[in-house]
Amino acid sequence: MTDVRKTHYRSCHLCEAICGIAIETEGDRIVSIKGDKQDPFSRGHICPKATALQDLHTDPDRLTKPIKRVGDDWHEISWDEAFELVADKITAIQEAHGENSIGFFAGNPSVHNYGTLTHGGELRRTVGTENHFSATSLDQLPHMLVGHLMYGHQYLVPVADIDHTNFLLIIGGNPLASNGSMMTVPDVKNRLKDIQNRGGKFVVIDPRRTETAMIADEHHFIRPGSDAFLLLAMIRTVFEDGLVDLGPMADHVAGLEEVREAVRPFTPELAAGQTGIDADVIRGLARTMAETDGAAAYGRMGVSTQAFGTLCQWAIQVLNIITGNMDVPGGIMVPTPAFGNVTPGARGAGYFATKHSRVSGLPIFSGEYPAVAMAEEIMTPGEGQIKGLVTIAANPALSAPNAQDLNEAFEGLDFMVSIDIYLNETTRHADVILPPTSALEHDHYDISFNRLAVRNITRYNAPVFDPPEGTKHDWEIMIGLASAIARRKGQDYKPLPAPHILLDQGLQYGPYGKAVGAEMGLTLEKLMEHPHGLDLGPLQPSMPERLSGPAKLDLELMLDDLKRLMDSRHRVAEGELLLIGRRHVRSNNSWMHNSTRLTKGPARWQLMMHPDDMAARGIENEARVRIASRVGAVETVVIASEDMMPGVVSLPHGWGHREKGVKLSVASEQAGVNCNILTDDKFFDTVSGNAALNGVPVSVEPAKPQAV
Ligand X SMILES: Nc1nc2c(c(=O)[nH]1)N[C@H]1C(S)=C(S)[C@@H](COP(=O)(O)OP(=O)(O)OC[C@H]3O[C@@H](n4cnc5c(=O)[nH]c(N)nc54)[C@H](O)[C@@H]3O)O[C@H]1N2
Residues that bind ligand SF4 (CB under 6 A): 12, 14-15, 17-19, 46-47, 49-50, 179, 186
Tell me: does residue 178 bind ligand X (CB under 6 A): yes
Closest to 162 in 3D by CA, of 137, 138, 141, 188: 188
Question: Which lies closer to ligand SF4 via its Cβ, residue 18 or residue 675?
Answer: 18
- Minimum Å gap between C-beta 652 and ligand SF4 is 16
Phi, psi of 396 (to 5 degrees): -60, -25
Closest to 132 in 3D by CA, of 360, 369, 332, 305: 369
Question: Which lies closer to ligand SF4 via its Cβ, residue 17 or residue 86?
Answer: 17
* Pairs from 74-77 (Cβ < 8 Å, separation ≥ 24): 74/423, 74/433, 77/432
Question: Which lies closer to ligand SF4 via its Cβ, residue 18 or residue 371?
Answer: 18
Q: How many residues bind ligand X (CB under 6 A)?
A: 65
Q: Which of 36, 187, 227, 405 binds ligand X (CB under 6 A)?
A: 227
- Minimum Å gap between C-beta 183 and ligand X is 9
Cα angle at 533 between 530 and 534, to 5 degrees?
Answer: 90
- The option from ligand SF4, ligand X, Mo ion, none interacting with 386 (CB < 5 to 8 A, set by class) reads none
- Minimum Å gap between C-beta 644 and ligand SF4 is 25
Residues 668 to 707 in contact with ligand X, rule: CB under 6 A: 675-676, 679, 693-695
The Cα 524–Cα 270 span in angstroms is: 55
Q: Which one of 201-209, 374-382, 639-647, 682-690 is the stretch in contact with ligand X (CB under 6 A)?
A: 201-209
How many other C-beta atoms can be found within 10 angstroms of the C-beta atom of residue 66? 25
Which residues contact residue 585 at a Cβ distance below 8 angstroms, ignoring those fewer than 6 apart?
Answer: 47, 48, 49, 176, 177, 179, 211
Question: Which lies closer to Mo ion via its Cβ, residue 139 or residue 561?
Answer: 139
Q: Which one of 131-139, 224-232, 281-289, 678-686 is the stretch in contact with Mo ion (CB under 5 A)?
A: 131-139
The Cα 694–Cα 586 span in angstroms is: 21
Give the 3-state secondary structure of 194-255.
HHHHCCCEEEEECCECCHHHHHCCEEECCCCCCHHHHHHHHHHHHHHCCCCCCHHHCCCEEC
- The option from ligand SF4, ligand X, Mo ion, none interacting with 604 (CB < 5 to 8 A, set by class) reads none
Question: Which lies closer to Mo ion via its Cβ, residue 513 or residue 654?
Answer: 654
- Minimum Å gap between C-beta 228 and ligand X is 10
- Minimum Å gap between C-beta 140 and Mo ion is 7
- Minimum Å gap between C-beta 94 and ligand SF4 is 39
- Minimum Å gap between C-beta 478 and ligand SF4 is 25
Question: Which lies closer to ligand X via its Cβ, residue 385 or residue 679?
Answer: 679
Q: Which one of 262-270, 285-293, 299-307, 361-369 is the stretch in contact with ligand X (CB under 6 A)?
A: 299-307
- Minimum Å gap between C-beta 175 and ligand X is 5
Residues 321 to 340 in contact with ligand X, rule: CB under 6 A: none
Question: Which lies closer to ligand SF4 via its Cβ, residue 41 or residue 655?
Answer: 41
- Minimum Å gap between C-beta 503 and ligand SF4 is 20
Residues 662 to 701 in contact with Mo ion, rule: CB under 5 A: none
The Cα 46–Cα 471 span in angstroms is: 30
- Minimum Å gap between C-beta 16 and Mo ion is 8
Cα angle at 530 between 527 and 533, to 5 degrees?
Answer: 85
Q: Which of 66, 225, 370, 672 binds ligand X (CB under 6 A)?
A: 225
Tell me: does residue 589 bind ligand X (CB under 6 A): yes
- The option from ligand SF4, ligand X, Mo ion, none interacting with 18 (CB < 5 to 8 A, set by class) reads ligand SF4
The Cα 11–Cα 501 span in angstroms is: 19
Which single residue brings its beta carbon nearest to ligand X?
302
- Residue 182 near residue 335 (C-beta atoms within 8 A): no
Q: Which of 94, 101, 274, 587 binds ligand X (CB under 6 A)?
A: 587
- The option from ligand SF4, ligand X, Mo ion, none interacting with 113 (CB < 5 to 8 A, set by class) reads ligand X
Q: Which one of 32-40, 206-214, 233-241, 663-671 is the stretch in contact with ligand X (CB under 6 A)?
A: 206-214
Question: Which lies closer to ligand SF4 via its Cβ, residue 10 or residue 526?
Answer: 10
Measured N-to-C along each axis, helices 256-263 and 227-240 cross at an angle, to the nearest 10 degrees, of: 120
The Cα 125–Cα 156 span in angstroms is: 25
The Cα 598–Cα 67 span in angstroms is: 28
Question: Which lies closer to Mo ion via its Cβ, residue 35 or residue 180?
Answer: 180
The Cα 402–Cα 692 span in angstroms is: 11
Q: Which of 152, 173, 324, 363 binds ligand X (CB under 6 A)?
A: 173
Tell me: does residue 451 bind ligand X (CB under 6 A): no
Angstrom distances, CA of residue 221 to CA of 228, 310, 356: 14, 21, 37
Question: Which lies closer to ligand X via its Cβ, residue 386 or residue 417?
Answer: 417
Secondary structure (DSSP) of 617-659:
TT--TT-EEEEE-SS-EEEEEEEE-TTBPTTEEE--SS-----
- The option from Mo ion, ligand X, ligand SF4, none interacting with 50 (CB < 5 to 8 A, set by class) reads ligand SF4
Q: Is 92 helix (H, G, I), strand (E, B) or coil?
A: helix
Tell me: does residue 377 bind ligand X (CB under 6 A): no
Phi, psi of 304 (to 5 degrees): -95, -45
The Cα 708–Cα 704 span in angstroms is: 12
User: Sign of the C-alpha dihedral, residues 101, 102, 105, 106?
Assistant: negative
The Cα 632–Cα 656 span in angstroms is: 14
Question: Which lies closer to ligand X via its Cβ, residue 253 or residue 667?
Answer: 667
Residues 132 to 161 in contact with Mo ion, rule: CB under 5 A: 139
Element spanning 259, H or E: helix 256-263
- Residue 157 near residue 182 (C-beta atoms within 8 A): yes
Tell me: does residue 89 bind ligand X (CB under 6 A): no
Greatest CA separation found in the chain? 75
In angstroms and rounded to an integer, the radius of gyration of the C-alpha atoms of the chain is 25
Binding interface with ligand X (CB under 6 A): 15-16, 107-109, 113, 135, 138-139, 171-175, 177-179, 181, 205-208, 210, 222, 224-225, 227, 300-303, 306, 392-396, 398-399, 419-422, 424, 436, 439, 474, 580-581, 583-585, 587-591, 653-654, 675-676, 679, 693-695
Binding interface with Mo ion (CB under 5 A): 139
